[in-house]
Amino acid sequence: MKGNCLTRRLSGLMAIRGLILALVLVIGGGCEETRTGGQILPALGVTFVGPQALVPGSRLVVRGTGFVLPEAAELTVQLDGLLAGVPFAVSAPADRIDDETVVVTIVGDLQQVLIPPGADLSRLAGRLTVTRRARDANGNLGEAESQGRDFDLTVSQTITPELVSVAPEQLYVGELVTLTGSRFLFPSEGVTLVELSGQIVTAAPARLIAVQGLQVPAIPSGDERDAIDFVLTPDVLGIIPGRFTGTMRVINSSRVGITTVSEPVAVDLPLAPPRIDEVTPLAASRGQWIRVRGRGFLAADGLLQAAMVLVLDGTFRPAIGGQIALTGPRALTLVPDIQLDNQLVSTVLRVGRDGSGQLTGLGLIAGTFEGTISPWLFLGPDLVKGEALSFTFQVLPQKQVVYLRELPGFDDALVEFGLLAEKAAVKARILEVCVRDYQGVHIEFTWDEPTEYAEYGVVEIAGRDPNGTGLFGLDNTSGKDVGNLRFNDIIGGYNADTQAEGYSAYGGIFPAEFMNLSARLGDNPLSSQRFDDVFGPVAPALDGKPAERGELDAGGARAADIREAVRVYGNLVGSTVSHEIGHSLGLANVDGQFHNAGDNPGWIMDSGTFRTFEERGEVDGQGPSFFEPESMNYLRGILPLPVQ
């Protein structure tokens, strides 16, 4: 079964890749088309050759159209012309960046031809030609075509930078600082450094700090040589607000060992304190992402002993009674989980355990926080308390989000049941069953991977039971999580802890194993003739004809048979998901037990041996299954719905 699945997936990927390639070949550029080797290729053309000044290691950029994927054609670049009046001719393979850009790096033999030792602002003029040799269906290179463009450049062993201005005019820690000018080096050509000299006068505490010859790496910010960027990391000018006055200059250190320096430019730059401008969302529940925007945020760095925290100072009013002062030493501290730059951090509304093992954290109790949030920066012994933002934040009741993760085996099971054509309808029914079973509980089921939550449950829905035991489903999370203390359980994959406890290691939902409920095919004690009645019209193993697209819309007896098979299959899978999620939430609600005692018709948390096909599938008037009152009270107690 696994080999067949892999073959189908590879075939599908090759088909998709072929479709993408075909689209690229048809629309990749140009209004004209060229039919070569049985393929239609976009028009080939050259519109730009640069940059104007070339040095050893330069990347000669060629822009145009028709620079297709390597699988479609091979591209080469030919240069013919005069170097300081001497003829030359040289070719090189092109590195494709995208459909409109290729580059040739001037190193090695190519460097010896175009920028020989001693070349100093020499004129390089001539014609550049791009040749495209197409590949046929077997990958062989066939007919070639070419397009060219004249060029007039200069080559030199090095270039001397020029610095004109510095932006922005106000600096924050972590800021991307842009310097404009000309003749800066690209990374392939060497290193460009920004050198600062002068003094820093800080505000609080007041200090005078001398800066002499401090060098910071910088790189060009675009395809031209007219701007470079560097990041104002905390080790450059520190984190304490104040002002830097002095000079900046740019140093080019080329790959051939030549150093050139720009003239210095006087600067007077204020160093601003960090600030917070926005918090989103302003209402969230446990495990949800909170995004904070502002300026001057500091990324954690162990080597620099640098860090940042978000401090919430104010009052928390639980939804039920009283208020809690969270000020001064009792203020809440949040540590960012993700920092993209110095303007955006993301943190999770977490719940953790204190020293006594009790749950604690802002996301634990529903209520409202009123106060301020401010960034605090740390660098060694220095501490900066940033500008605070006043805000009101609503903590929503805890909501358990459950992601139904579809694995490749899910399609295999649908093929066995003859329902692959109705996959969307099957998934919709599974979701309906889960939502219905947990009516009145603050839980959300989704087939889409959550993006607004960092902590959520996962149920993997596959095909066959990898444990080899024929299980319909298995919660392989560790232990019984009474009270649902964990919000990020994964029912699926391999769990060594579970195996060490003497249980099967692989968890998830295994729909293909439901075929064992067939009276004709299965050997399960729960097998039923009614299973064969429902799935006989569509399951190939029962001599059925798999459903085809459009059959449901055609109406008639065939449509009715397919509709019933979809409904029952969705019930089987959905009820199993509800059962296994119940385990991960801490059910059954019997101390030390994982299932209800005995056979209780319709109870979701009964042992599988007591849950018949008719009950699971909701056939012949049986079902739907449900959580008995004690279990439902438990679920609503740990995951109460918000008060309307």
* 108 and 186 within one domain: no
Residue 643 lies in a domain: no
3-state secondary structure (DSSP) of residue 225: coil
* 235 and 321 within one domain: no
* 475 and 353 within one domain: no
Q: What is the largest CA-CA distance in the chain?
A: 98
Residue 79 lies in a domain: yes
The parent domain of residue 419 ranges over 401-638
Encoded tokens for 243: 């002002």
Of 395, 423, 453, the domain-final residue: 395
* 118 and 74 within one domain: yes
Residue 2 lies in a domain: no
* 569 and 423 within one domain: yes
Residue 18 lies in a domain: no
Place of tokens 């740390």: 378
* 134 and 62 within one domain: yes
Residue 17 lies in a domain: no
* Tens-digit pLDDT profile for residues 425-453: 999 999 999 999 999 999 999 999 999 99
Residue 46 CA to residue 48 CA, distance in Å, equals 6
Per-residue model confidence (pLDDT) at position 222: 79
Helices (H), strands (E): how many in the chain? Answer: 11, 39
**C-beta atoms surrounding 382 within 10 Å:** 16
Residue 387 lies in a domain: yes
Separation of first and last alpha carbons in the chain:
50
- CA 49 to chain centroid, in Å, comes to 36
Residue 361 lies in a domain: yes
* 581 and 508 within one domain: yes
Residue 498 CA to residue 473 CA, distance in Å, equals 15
Residue 454 CA to residue 442 CA, distance in Å, equals 17
* 464 and 607 within one domain: yes
Encoded tokens for 180: 């404009």
Encoded tokens for 558: 């065939």
Host H or E run for residue 59: strand 59-65
Q: Which residues pair with 152 in a beta bridge?
A: 125
Per-residue model confidence (pLDDT) at position 644: 67
**400 contacts 286 by C-beta, under 8 angstroms:** no
* 330 and 225 within one domain: no
Peptide bond into 93 cis (omega under 30): no
Q: Phi first, then psi: what are they for 528, rounded to 5°? A: -145, 145
**527 contacts 557 by C-beta, under 8 angstroms:** no
- Contacting residues for 423 by C-beta, under 8 A, at least 6 apart: 411, 414
Q: How many domains does the chain have?
A: 4
Peptide bond into 588 cis (omega under 30): yes
SS3 letters across 294-350: EECCCCCECCCCEEEEEEEEEEEEECCCCCEEECHHHCEEECCCEECCCCEEEEECC
Per-residue model confidence (pLDDT) at position 505: 82
Of 155, 178, 195, the domain-final residue: 155
Per-residue model confidence (pLDDT) at position 503: 75
For the chain, helix, strand, coil in percent to 5 are: 20, 40, 40
Per-residue model confidence (pLDDT) at position 22: 38
Q: Phi first, then psi: what are they for 181, rounded to 5°? A: 170, -135
- Among 582, 503, 568, smallest CA distance to 538 is for 568
Of 114, 135, 155, the domain-final residue: 155
3-state secondary structure (DSSP) of residue 483: coil
Residue 346 lies in a domain: yes
Per-residue model confidence (pLDDT) at position 45: 94
Sheet holding 53-54, edge to edge: 53-54, 141-155, 122-135, 73-83, 86-93
What stretches of 474-513 show up as alpha helix (H) in DSSP?
496-500
Domain CATH code at residue 106: 2.60.40
Q: What is the dihedral of CA 105, 107, 111, 114, to 10 degrees?
A: 0
* 262 and 336 within one domain: no
Determine the residue type at 15.
Answer: A
Q: Phi first, then psi: what are they for 199, rounded to 5°? A: -150, 155
pTM over 0.85: no
Q: How far is CA 599 from CA 488, 523, 575, in A?
A: 31, 21, 17
- Contacting residues for 492 by C-beta, under 8 A, at least 6 apart: 405, 407, 458, 459, 460, 462, 476, 506, 507, 508
| Residues of the chain below pLDDT 70 | 1-39, 644
Encoded tokens for 302: 């162990």
SS3 letters across 264-287: CEEEEEEECCCEEEEEECCEECCC
* 624 and 511 within one domain: yes
Residue 511 CA to residue 534 CA, distance in Å, equals 16
Host H or E run for residue 377: strand 367-379
Per-residue model confidence (pLDDT) at position 39: 58
* 621 and 476 within one domain: yes
Angle at 546 between CA 540 and CA 551, to 5 degrees: 160
